[in-house]
Amino acid sequence: MWPFSGQPPAVEAKLAARDAALSTAGEFSETEHQAYLNATATEIVSRIGKGEWTATQVLEAYIARAAQAQKLTLCLTEVLFEQARAEAKQLDEDFAQTKKLKGPLHGVPVSLKDMFQVSGVDSTIGYTSWINRPAKSDALLVRLLREAGAVQFVKTNVPQTLLAFECSNPLWGRALNPWSAAHTPGGSSGGEGALLAMDGSALGVGTDIGGSIRIPAHYCGIYALKPGWGRSSTEGTTSPNPGFEAIRAVNGPMGRSVEDLKIVAQVLFGQRNSNYFPAPVPYREISLPKKLRFGYYTSDHFIKASPVCRRAVLETVEALRAQGHECVGFKLPGPGYSALSLFTAITSADGYQGLLRHLGPDPKESAMFLITLGPKLPGFLRCLAAWAISFYDPIFAHLLTQSRHKTVGEFNDYVALKLEYEREFRKLAWEEQKFDAIIAPVQAIPAVPHHGCDNLSPLAASTVQYNIVDSPVGIVPVTRVDPAKDAVTAEWFTGDDHGSRIWEDALYGKKAVYDPVKMQGLPVGVQVVGLPWGEEAVLAMMDVVDKALGPRGFGPGSWSPGDQKSG
């Protein structure tokens, strides 16, 4: 990472401390450990409550697999095994005396994205300058999970600055996809995605401002929920740019079943302290109508979805129709890049100085290249380049003009445009179309190869869409890449659902990033988008989708050693 010298002493010490903690893990044994990994969080609590398992037994199984996952994917940052062992032991002792569970997550091993503050533990989020700055107290979310009986035992890897979906930074290294070492697990909650897909944790929590929960869930084949803003506390979440609130980051559960996500939502939603945030709206039990009305689309007219991502949406639609639900084709309002245009304009207003100011001696990751390019260009050069490019790809040219420094007045104008677009979307989708939910691609392609984010960061447009309009969104894994079904055909290039010529050529042209042979076996999910403040309905409809699709090789026990293809 540092091209002209060895690692700085602080980095060496940090990595050595992690390795020392990992060395206390037992060797994974399928005979001894696999039964615990095959259980959902709900089942773990049930078995402990019946006296069949102990929290310590469960924890040691997940510690063994987490250590195995780290060797294959570099998904871990801080390793809290000894603290977790003490907590599990206390849970077992208390249960032996009282025969009562501490809470709905009693004895469940839980992983945390590195951002979440744990008392006495660093939250470096990959910045070497933030080593040896331990948190003084637990994040509210961390405290709530512990009070519910969860055993927090690891923190997980993230991209530098958190504004990328290549999970790599100079401190903790580059995380790998659990199904293919040649591909990324996504970001920014990429370490969570990889660990959960490998059954290295029973439950996890991530954050999302542009797809950071949903992209790793899609890339790794797990379930996840991005709530709307205001449902769970963000206090104690380390951020590289804490004053930025024009687009709100949210916390949400990531896991291996819809049922497990629901438990975390029940624990976190509406719970607050003296800061009077979030909104005092706890989890509410709801009842869905027997016949649901779903909107769906397979292209946002910005970057056309690949054959496999299109297939995932259509297979979901077919399964829902077979259950008697109504599914109606839907087109997003305005140009397909509207949300990404607003996101780019707003996040780049300070030239990304807020994100980059903490790099210090760290080299800037290549995944930040295209994201941060625009503000570095002189105004006249940006305008000239945009004018020249516009004759070939007006979409690319437009987005280039949006990525620049802005005055406070301009920034406020873009936020006003965001609010206007939000109202337009909500009126169309929820008032006029009266959808219960929308089924959409998570991204145009499955997991990108390493360094794919360098020039393809606009792929996040599919997820950014629902940060801009602040919709709750669930991710359900649907299928896997199959070269026999998912090749790009001549027919795919026809139609009026195409968008940016430059980015579609990068994905599907002569040097195509989308390669169903190299991507064989990679998971593919869909977004289940719901109404504002409708997280409970989203979870219920995720369950409808999951059951309609039937068994398909996702969930606890679906990953085995040897499933990761070599790079």
Contacts of 320 (CB under 8 A, 6+ apart): 292, 294, 327, 439, 544, 545, 548
CA–CA distance, 57 with 55 (Å, rounded to integer): 6
According to DSSP H, which parts of 256-391 are helical?
A: 258-268, 307-322, 338-347, 353-356, 369-376, 379-390
Written as one string, the DSSP assignment of 357-415 is TT-TTSPPPGGGHHHHHHHHS-HHHHHHHHHHHHTT-HHHHHHHHHSS---HHHHHHHH
Asked if residue 188 has a cis previous peptide bond (ω within 30° of 0), the answer is yes
Is the separation of the CB atoms in 541 and 437 below 8 Å? yes
Which one from 14, 102, 113, 226 is the annotated catalytic residue? 113
What is the chain's length?
567
Report, in angstroms and rounded to the nearest whole number, the Rg of the chain calculated over CA atoms. 22
366 is catalytic: no
Handedness of CA 467, 522, 204, 294 (dihedral sign): positive
Which one from 188, 189, 233, 457 is the annotated catalytic residue? 188
Among 542, 491, 461, residue whose Cα is nearest residue 225: 542
Which one from 212, 257, 299, 341 is the annotated catalytic residue? 212
232 is catalytic: no
Q: How many CB atoms lie within 10 A of CB 491?
A: 8
SS3 206: strand
113 is catalytic: yes
Identity of residue 9: P
Which are the catalytic amino acids?
113, 188, 212
